Amino acid sequence: MNLFDCNLEDLRRWATDQGLPAYRGQQIFEGLYQQPVQRFADIKGLPKKLAQDLDIQSPLLPAQEIRRQTSADGTVKSLLRFHDGALAECVSIPTKNRHTICVSSQIGCPVGCTFCASGLDGLGRNLSAGEMVYQVLFHHGRRKVTNVVYMGSGEPLFNYTNVLKSIEILAEPRGLFLGRRRFTVSTSGVADKIRQFAHDEPQVTLALSLHAPDDYTRSRIVPLNKKWPIAELMSAMDDYTNKVNRRMTLEYVLLADDNMSRQQASKLAKLANRYGAHINLIPFNPVSGVPHQLPAWNAVEAFAQQVEEAGGHATIRGQRGADIDAACGQLKEREQAKT
């Protein structure tokens, strides 16, 4: 059993199921999130005999770090191996005032965006809530985590229940106590779940990975667009913004010769303005095995200016970890290529 899958109530119940007082469950929960622990014996206040028995029954930690890359800008990318051998990446992004963790929600990804290494082998499996929680906790030991973004491998809204439970666990006041506004979930456009998300987690920021403002281009880059084309996606976004009444973010990866024309800049600005959305422009990070080219820097700047001229608000997102395999899925691909 992965105890990181448990919220506070689950752990109280688990303790009573073990014939222990319920407060032992709470003690373990607090121990997991309020101090760095490797095994039950590290949890303060737990009786020695009980901790020893629990350590013998099963390992406390659900994953091991098998590879790490550290960028000159402080970004740390870790490849974790879970109990069944599945591999997933998580990234720690420190800045002056923040420590953001980029979490993977699935092993691989079923969406198959053409610019992304994570989708190359399709979906392995969903990650459990605890496996996502642990990605955050893993980096929390080095510096207090302030923000969590579900932007690693996988489509979070295809693993909806587990993603929501991981947010609940990380937001628990007796644990890390991260406010819900410190979470961002990024979706490639699962229209029906966008509506549900507005109802279930109105405080959590939703980012939409648009990547193209017209169906012809988007269906080529983001295959999910064939199921939920832009008009349908925008209808879901209308419902979302009416319900949560908050600004959202559009993510737009810049692919040379694909989605960077003046006409596309103008369409993108129009779509964003409909929601008062901010646009994050992300220059493509070259990945072996995917058919896209890095755009020239002056083309990136020109596109950003064209978006602004058309009335949009865009930021070119700095490439964190540019000197390591920073694009999602690259470290895992490299590791798998060795075996």
3-state secondary structure the chain: CCHHHCCHHHHHHHHHHCCCCHHHHHHHHHHHHHCCCCCHHHCCCCCHHHHHHHHHHCCCCCEEEEEEEECCCCCEEEEEEECCCCEEEEEEEECCCCEEEECCCEEECCCCCCCCCCCCCCEEEECCHHHHHHHHHHHHCCCCCCEEEECCCCCHHHHHHHHHHHHHHHHCCCCCCCCHHHEEEEECCCHHHHHHHHHHCCCCEEEEECCCCCHHHHHHHCHHHHCCCHHHHHHHHHHHHHHHCCCCEEEEEECCCCCCCHHHHHHHHHHHHHHCCEEEEEECCCCCCCCCCCCCHHHHHHHHHHHHHCCCEEEECCCCCCCCCCCCCHHHHHHHHHC
221 is a contact residue toward ligand SF4 (CB under 6 A): no
CB of residue 100 vs ligand SF4: minimum separation in angstroms?
Answer: 17
Q: Which of 30, 89, 201, 333 is catalytic?
A: 89
CB of residue 89 vs ligand SF4: minimum separation in angstroms?
Answer: 10
Length of the chain in residues, anyone?
Answer: 339
132 is a contact residue toward ligand SF4 (CB under 6 A): no
What string marks each residue from 31 to 50 as x (binds ligand SF4 by CB under 6 A) or -? --------------------
Total residues contacting ligand SF4 by CB under 6 A comes to 12
CB of residue 33 vs ligand SF4: minimum separation in angstroms?
Answer: 27
**Contact set for ligand SF4, span 275-334 (CB under 6 A):** 328
Q: Is 116 labeled as catalytic in the residue annotation?
A: no
Please pick, from the candidates 112, 196, 317, 322, the single residue that binds ligand SF4 as defined by CB under 6 A: 112
Amino acid (one-letter) located at 141: G
CB of residue 253 vs ligand SF4: minimum separation in angstroms?
Answer: 8
CB of residue 1 vs ligand SF4: minimum separation in angstroms?
Answer: 28
Inter-residue contact 125 to 65 (CB < 8 Å): no
Nearer to ligand SF4, 38 or 336 (CB): 336
Please pick, from the candidates 62, 154, 175, 283, the single residue that binds ligand SF4 as defined by CB under 6 A: 154
Rg of the chain over Cα atoms, rounded to whole angstroms, equals 21
State the distance between the two ends of the chain, measured CA to CA, in whole angstroms: 29
Nearer to ligand SF4, 110 or 202 (CB): 110
Structure-token match 């992965």, residue found = 2
CB of residue 188 vs ligand SF4: minimum separation in angstroms?
Answer: 4
Nearer to ligand SF4, 156 or 175 (CB): 156
Nearer to ligand SF4, 92 or 159 (CB): 159
111 is a contact residue toward ligand SF4 (CB under 6 A): yes
Q: Is 89 labeled as catalytic in the residue annotation?
A: yes
Please pick, from the candidates 5, 89, 131, 155, the single residue that binds ligand SF4 as defined by CB under 6 A: 155
**Structure tokens that stand for 111 in this block:** 């969406």
69 is a contact residue toward ligand SF4 (CB under 6 A): no
CB of residue 329 vs ligand SF4: minimum separation in angstroms?
Answer: 7
118 is a contact residue toward ligand SF4 (CB under 6 A): yes
**Structure tokens that stand for 75 in this block:** 């970004």
206 is a contact residue toward ligand SF4 (CB under 6 A): no
**Active-site positions?**
89, 328
Judged by the rule CB under 6 A, the positions of this chain that interact with ligand SF4 are 109, 111-113, 116, 118-119, 153-155, 188, 328
